[in-house]
Structure 1
Amino acid sequence: MRIVSGNYGGRPLKTLEGKLTRPTSDKVRGAIFNMIGPYFDGGRVLDLFAGSGGLSIEAVSRGMSSAVLVERDRKAQAIIKENIAMTKETEKFQLLEMDANTALPQLSGPFDLVLLDPPYAKEEIIKNIEQLCQGNLLSDEVMVVCESDKSVDLPEEIADLGIWKQKVYGISKVTVYVR
């Protein structure tokens, strides 16, 4: 795996061995950013189930100012630290070593881009988006990008966000919510 485009384009990304995380493939990551960007002029990213950190590192590579990555798994945290070090701009990244439910009440917004790729997607995505809205953690122009299995049907609206775009890539479905 590698960073697809931007300042870190072409640099390799490390991923976890085994089935603990499901890293987003280069192809799907590139498609996601072509769908929502493909480039940004600043802003803050929240990656709530960071895995290897590839999605949020890609977002910063494409122009986001900074990223907060949340990951509970110790092995994944070590991989994220290596991937952040590869950028040579570690000050742009903050890794919170905890689960999403612990992190959400501790976060301060606003975030302009939120990346959600949780296990057990539908239940977590709905709950997480509701918590983000209740905590005033989202900017007015926020995009919430949800990656799930293609069989998962997310509601048209969650809190004050509605589906803007939705597309299936192989076994994955990407749903983008906006205000």
Structure 2
Amino acid sequence: MRIIGGQFRGLHLAPVGEGDAKAHLRPTSDRVRESIFNLLINGGYGDPITGARVLDLFAGTGALGLEAVSRGASRVAFVDDGAAARALLRRNIELTRTMGVTDVWRRDAMRMGPNRGAGYSLVFLDPPYRMGLGEKALASCVEGGWIAPSALVVWEEGVPPVAPQGFDMLDQRSYGDTVVTILRAGE
């Protein structure tokens, strides 16, 4: 697993092996991550990465958020309640030397609570597949004010999710057993 583009391009992240079933660690493959960022950059959404405040839910290794930082995001908040995931995430933050622009929160993504700061303009949502957790996390983020108006949400799932009320589906593509859906939040 490595960073695909930007200032950290080619940097190898901490190894996960085959993943950790107990911790639900299933890192986004380099190929799928590259496809996601190509969709964001070339999808007609302007430049959703440079200067963005990014919220990485079910962050796992943090590869999606760190890829965003590598490509110019101003800040990334990583949310994961798993100890194994947070340990890997902290190691990857050390490897990229991004301590000053990242936050790691031990929090249940389905119970975010109120946001005390500005909303996030780019949200990565990569829950354990086929458990309905993405819908719950997105609802929690909307309720707590975590998502900025017109924010983009990149949702990885095992089956095509339906766009929740208040979101428009912009794109949906399959990569093997992964379905990537891009949503835009309402104003």
| Same fold (TM > 0.5) | yes
Structure 1 residue 124, shift from structure 2 partner: 1.6
Alignment check: 8 A CA contact 2:110 2:133 kept: no
What are the Cα deviations for residues 106-161 of structure 1, in whole angstroms up to 9, with x where unaligned?
53431011111111446222222222222222222311110011xx1311x31310
**Counterpart pick for 1:50 among 59, 70, 88:** 59
TM value normalised by structure 2: 0.86
2:32 alignment partner, one of 24, 28, 31: 28
What is residue 140 of structure 1 aligned with on the other side?
A: 149
1:170 counterpart letter in structure 2: G
Amino acid at match of 2:113: P
- The root-mean-square deviation of aligned C-alpha atoms, in Å, is 1.7
Taking the aligned partners of 1:100 and 1:15, their CA distance within structure 2 comes to: 24
Distance in 1, Cα, partners of 2:131 & 2:173: 16
Q: In structure 2, what is the Cα distance between the partners aligned to 1:109 and 1:121?
A: 31
CA distance in 1, matches of 2:161, 2:65: 22
1:168 maps to which residue?
A: 174
What letter is aligned with 1:32? Answer: I
Q: 1:52, 1:15 → 2: CA distance?
A: 9
The CA distance in 2 between the partners of 1:90 and 1:81, in whole Å, is 9
Residue 105 of structure 1 pairs with residue 113 of structure 2: yes
- Deviation, structure 1 residue 85: 0.7
> May I ask how many residue pairs the two structures share in their alignment?
175
2:140 to 97, 119, 131: 131
Q: Structure 1: which 5+ residue stretches go unaligned?
A: none
Q: For residue 95 of structure 1, what is the aligned residue in structure 2?
A: 104
SS of the residue aligned with 1:146? strand
